[in-house]
């Protein structure tokens, strides 16, 4: 019996789904509108794509979901866990309390049980103070019954995680296994407030992730599918459901990443620029060894400054539904607003009343869609100017994302990519792969499993080469732990940044390893 996999990716406008066979060939694909509650849209897409494929439910063995549930919960400040925030670091850090700089409405929801206790480490691994275990026990008893998730952040836990893991043991002892504990060392890097914020947000969306996962698994069961379920992470790799419940924050921004990964797979390119044109925006990202380049800057999520890894993307307000306005004097503007998912009713070629970018390309004969006669009356010369402006917007973005003056391959994906020509400035070639419209769902379906470590190392101890080797083997171990096939794991990214004003050549090293999912052995599974 053949084994199939289903991949679903939730975007701002559409929820896309695909079914792939063992060789990753696309058996069926579908696009449905993203719904307010997100989940019903997922189920809808899932049912459609299964029905279209004709594949029997029991032969679908893997299900991969890239969703926006967690992002939405944070942005809307809804359905969040009741959390306790524990920082280990006194007597240091008191001058900046947890959640300082975070918007008041978020602080109000999440900042009800905030503690700073003694402990934490120095940059070289010495203790600032002994961990105050007695106080931890007291806090654990105080919050018991009032919270259902805890965020723990210890000073310099990227150097030594001892106090965080000990704190987790104590909290579990008192609160029981059912209350999840989020540890900062597993979420962010050096930079206390940013890492703490990311950990707090993680603790806050545990329930949302849990409900999403359970809903998804049940919906699969109703279709007769008993599959291994994975969530897409924002680095383009997968995590098993159990892992996703512990680190739901890592699902944020997985959508654009899935598009990048899908583009890489569909085009066969490992190093390229990817342009994902949606209904409202165009996202440009960079593939390095088949993975998205990560941003090195602090990222705001729901107004909170965080520092966990995110894909490095540049978004511009140009999509298939972007509104074009022509003034009396012949000048015009492109966007940034869009009719979004209402393009099929609003666009001129569909009999609507709004001039959009899609109307422009259809009027110019660059794409076949809707009724071209409805835009025949428009001034062709002006349309050419508008089109040139649209292309220029994309070309400027390409140039900003490139790392050198050399032209690079450019891969177009997303439903709106019909807007763009087959030649672009700065591109060595422009590739529009098959199934470009659902590259994101394909990216989710084919995703690999990864492991990452990020620590501060003293290079003087082992030397640079040996330290890097050590870091690499740690990352590979993490990947295997997460479910990757040990025979196939490779290092996909290494970054080392020296820290100024410190002895011993203290250096922050980040290594990521990834590999194919270790295949389920059919014999055993059956």
Partner 1 sequence: MRLLGKQEIEDIAIGAALLGTGGGGDPYIGKLMALQAIEEFGPIRLLSVDEVPDDAVVVPSGMMGAPTVMVEKAPNGEEAIKAFKSLENFLGKEIFATMPIEAGGINSLLPLALAARLGLPVVDVDGMGRAFPELQMVTFYLDGISASPFVIADEKGNVTLLNTIDNHWAERIARNATIQKGGSVMMAIYPMVGKNLKDSGIHHILTLEEEIGRSIRLAKKNGLDPIAEVLKLTQGFELFRGKVIDVNRKTETGFARGTARLEGLLSYKGETLELRFQNEHLIAQTEERLLCVTPDLIAVLDAETGLPITTEGLRYGARCVVVGIPCDPKWRTPKGIETCGPGYFGYDVEFTPVEELVKKGVGVK
Name the minimum Å distance from CB 213 to partner 1.
Answer: 33
**Residues 455, 158: contact at Cβ < 8 Å?**
yes
Number of residues that bind partner 1 (CB under 8 A): 42
Lookup result for tokens 């020296």: 498
**Residues 114, 98: contact at Cβ < 8 Å?**
yes
Is residue 270 part of the contact set for partner 1 (CB under 8 A)?
no
- Which among 425, 440, 412, 436 is positioned nearest to 274, based on CA atoms? 412
Which of 75, 94, 462, 490 lies at the binding interface for partner 1 (CB under 8 A)?
94
Is residue 123 part of the contact set for partner 1 (CB under 8 A)?
yes
Is residue 188 part of the contact set for partner 1 (CB under 8 A)?
no
Which of 128, 301, 449, 482 lies at the binding interface for partner 1 (CB under 8 A)?
128
Q: How far apart are CA 320 and CA 338, in angstroms?
A: 8
Q: How far apart are CA 359 and CA 341, in angstroms?
A: 15
**Residues 8, 15: contact at Cβ < 8 Å?**
yes
Name the minimum Å distance from CB 256 to partner 1.
Answer: 17
Minimum CB distance to partner 1 smaller for 101 or for 330: 101
- Which among 343, 351, 307, 296 is positioned nearest to 323, based on CA atoms? 343
> Which residues 405-434 are close enough to bind partner 1 by CB under 8 A?
405
**Residues 374, 351: contact at Cβ < 8 Å?**
yes
Both tokens assigned to 323: 């509104």
Question: Can you give the C-alpha Rg of the chain in angstroms?
Answer: 24
DSSP state of 354: B
Is residue 465 part of the contact set for partner 1 (CB under 8 A)?
no
Minimum CB distance to partner 1 smaller for 246 or for 455: 455
Minimum CB distance to partner 1 smaller for 490 or for 502: 502
Minimum CB distance to partner 1 smaller for 91 or for 224: 91
Draw the binding track, 147-186, toward partner 1 (x: CB under 8 A; -: no contact).
--------xx------------------------------
**Residues 282, 338: contact at Cβ < 8 Å?**
no
Q: Residue 336 phi/psi, 5° resolution?
A: -80, -5
Which of 192, 324, 355, 441 lies at the binding interface for partner 1 (CB under 8 A)?
192
Is residue 193 part of the contact set for partner 1 (CB under 8 A)?
yes
Draw the binding track, 72-91, toward partner 1 (x: CB under 8 A; -: no contact).
-----------------xxx
Q: How far apart are CA 351 and CA 515, in angstroms?
A: 49
Name the minimum Å distance from CB 508 to partner 1.
Answer: 8
Which of 72, 93, 259, 306 lies at the binding interface for partner 1 (CB under 8 A)?
93
Which of 25, 36, 242, 297 lies at the binding interface for partner 1 (CB under 8 A)?
297
Both tokens assigned to 53: 């494929």
Name the minimum Å distance from CB 137 to partner 1.
Answer: 23
Name the minimum Å distance from CB 375 to partner 1.
Answer: 33
For 120-163, the DSSP string reads -B-TTS-BSS---HHHHHHHHHHHTTT-SEEEEEETTTTT--HH
Both tokens assigned to 125: 């691994």
Both tokens assigned to 34: 């993203």
Minimum CB distance to partner 1 smaller for 380 or for 425: 425
Which of 122, 173, 300, 469 lies at the binding interface for partner 1 (CB under 8 A)?
122
Minimum CB distance to partner 1 smaller for 21 or for 162: 162
**Residues 424, 398: contact at Cβ < 8 Å?**
yes
Continuous H helices in 205-280:
206-222, 241-246, 254-267
Is residue 499 part of the contact set for partner 1 (CB under 8 A)?
yes
Which of 507, 509, 511, 515 lies at the binding interface for partner 1 (CB under 8 A)?
507
DSSP state of 53: H
CB-based burial label for 236 (10 Å; 0-12, 13-18, 19+): buried
Draw the binding track, 468-497, toward partner 1 (x: CB under 8 A; -: no contact).
-----------------------------x
* Cβ neighbour number for residue 519 with a 10 Å cutoff: 12
Is residue 32 part of the contact set for partner 1 (CB under 8 A)?
no
Is residue 404 part of the contact set for partner 1 (CB under 8 A)?
yes
Which of 11, 41, 120, 416 lies at the binding interface for partner 1 (CB under 8 A)?
120
Task: Give the interface with partner 1 as residue ranges (CB under 8 A).
Answer: 89-97, 100-101, 120, 122-124, 126, 128-129, 155-156, 190-193, 296-297, 399-405, 497-503, 505, 507
């Amino acid at each position: 019996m053949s084994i199939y996999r289903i991949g679903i990716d939730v975007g701002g406008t559409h929820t896309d789904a695909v079914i792939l066979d063992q060789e990753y060939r696309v058996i069926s694909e579908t696009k449905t509108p993203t719904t307010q509650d997100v989940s019903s849209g997922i189920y809808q897409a899932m049912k459609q794509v299964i029905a279209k494929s004709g594949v029997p439910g029991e032969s679908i063995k893997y299900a991969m979901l890239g969703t926006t549930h967690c992002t939405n919960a944070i942005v809307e400040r809804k359905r969040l866990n009741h959390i306790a925030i524990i920082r280990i670091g006194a007597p240091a850090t008191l001058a900046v309390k947890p959640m300082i700089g975070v918007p008041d409405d978020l602080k109000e929801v999440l900042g009800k049980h905030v503690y700073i206790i003694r402990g934490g480490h120095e940059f070289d691994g010495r203790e600032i103070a002994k961990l105050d275990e007695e106080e931890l026990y007291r806090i654990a008893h105080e919050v018991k019954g009032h919270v259902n998730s805890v965020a723990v952040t210890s000073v310099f836990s990227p150097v030594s995680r001892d106090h965080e893991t000990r704190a987790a043991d104590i909290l579990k002892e008192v609160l029981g296994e059912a209350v999840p504990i989020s540890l900062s060392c597993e979420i962010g890097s050096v930079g206390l407030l940013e890492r703490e914020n990311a950990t707090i947000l993680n603790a806050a969306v545990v329930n949302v992730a849990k409900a999403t996962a359970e809903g998804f698994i049940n919906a699969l069961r109703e279709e007769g599918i008993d599959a291994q379920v994975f969530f897409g992470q924002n680095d383009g790799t997968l995590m098993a459901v159990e892992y996703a419940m512990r680190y739901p924050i890592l699902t944020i921004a997985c959508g654009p990443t899935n598009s990048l990964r899908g583009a890489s797979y569909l085009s066969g390119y490992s190093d390229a620029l990817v342009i994902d044109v949606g209904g409202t925006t165009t996202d440009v990202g960079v593939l390095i060894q088949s993975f998205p380049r990560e941003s090195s800057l602090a990222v705001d999520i729901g107004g909170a400054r965080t520092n966990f890894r995110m894909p490095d993307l540049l978004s511009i307000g140009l999509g298939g539904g972007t509104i074009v306005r022509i003034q009396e004097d012949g000048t015009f503007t492109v966007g940034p607003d869009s009719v979004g998912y209402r393009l099929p009713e609003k666009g001129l070629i569909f009999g609507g009343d709004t001039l959009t970018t899609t109307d422009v390309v259809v009027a110019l004969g660059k794409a076949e869609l809707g009724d071209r006669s409805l835009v025949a009356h428009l001034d062709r010369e002006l349309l050419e100017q508008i089109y040139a402006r649209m292309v220029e917007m994309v070309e400027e973005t390409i140039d900003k994302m490139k790392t050198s003056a050399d032209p690079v391959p450019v891969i177009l994906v997303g439903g709106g990519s019909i807007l763009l020509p087959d030649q672009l400035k700065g591109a060595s070639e422009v590739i529009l792969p098959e199934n470009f419209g659902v590259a994101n769902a394909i990216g989710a379906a084919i995703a690999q499993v990864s492991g990452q470590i990020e620590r501060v190392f003293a290079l003087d101890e082992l030397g640079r080469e040996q330290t890097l080797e050590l870091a690499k083997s740690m990352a590979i171990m993490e990947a295997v732990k997460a479910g990757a096939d040990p025979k196939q794991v490779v290092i996909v990214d290494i970054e080392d940044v020296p820290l100024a004003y410190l002895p011993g050549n203290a250096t922050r090293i980040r290594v990521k390893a990834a590999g194919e999912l270790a295949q389920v052995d059919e014999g055993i599974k059956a």
